[in-house]
């Protein structure tokens, strides 16, 4: 895979595959339960004040800037 970027650096319409999720075990478990796992394709639907609406596995999920900063992806 190429270089990875933090999810917070993306814009609506951008997409990529998750390559890394940082954080303590409880944060990782929470994000994993939502479907944020390595290799999963994700696309940005909307971004407002750092908060994001994402499309992952056919579902739309809203996360705040703090959680988004822990997810890194390889852009497509």
Residue pLDDT, tens place only, 18-73: 999 998 999 999 999 999 999 999 999 999 988 999 999 999 999 999 999 999 99
pLDDT band at 2 (very low <50, low <70, confident <90, very high): low
CA distance 25 to 47: 26
The full set of domain ranges for the chain reads 5-75
Backbone angles phi, psi at 54, to 5 degrees: -120, 150
CATH architecture of the region 5-75: Roll (2.30)
- The whole model's pTM is what? 0.89
Q: How many CA atoms lie within 13 Å of 33's alpha carbon, on the beta-carbon side?
A: 6
The predicted pLDDT at position 23 comes to 87
């Amino acid at each position: 895979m190429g270089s990875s970027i933090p999810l917070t650096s993306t814009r609506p319409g951008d997409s990529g595959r998750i390559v890394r999720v940082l954080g303590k075990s409880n944060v990782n478990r929470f994000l994993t339960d939502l479907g944020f796992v390595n290799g999963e394709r994700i696309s940005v639907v909307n971004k407002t004040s750092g908060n994001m609406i994402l499309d992952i596995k056919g579902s739309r999920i809203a996360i705040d800037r703090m959680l988004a900063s822990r997810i890194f992806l390889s852009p497509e």
